[in-house]
Amino acid sequence: KYLVPADLTVGQFVYVIRKRIKLSPEKAIFIFINNVLPPTATLMSNIYKEQKDSDGFLYVTYSGENTFGE
């Protein structure tokens, strides 16, 4: 669970997640909300308002992928 500031963008959120899970630089990370890749400039607060679950949580799925064919 993460509590994020209202003014955090998706791109900044991805950066925080990368740091928390200690993802190596050669790996890419993608986040999905309701199986959709959100624009990186969108505020997390806007996504929360539009996509939150009935229980009040915003569920985010992330996926890592090797870059440069590794």
Count CB neighbours of 45 within 10 A. 15
Is the pLDDT at 64 greater than 90, yes or no? no
Q: Which residues pair with 61 in a beta bridge?
A: 32
Can you tell me the distance from the alpha carbon of 28 to that of 42, in angstroms, rounded to the nearest whole number? Answer: 19
pTM, to two decimals: 0.83
Which of the four pLDDT bands, split at 50, 70 and 90, describes residue 68?
low
H-state helical runs in 1-70: 10-20, 44-51
Is the pLDDT at 60 greater than 80, yes or no? yes
| 45 half-sphere exposure, CB direction, 13 A CA radius | 4
14-57: pLDDT as tens digits: 999 989 988 888 888 999 999 999 999 999 999 999 999 999 99
Can you tell me the distance from the alpha carbon of 43 to that of 45, in angstroms, rounded to the nearest whole number? Answer: 5
Question: Which CATH number does 10-66 carry?
Answer: 3.10.20.90
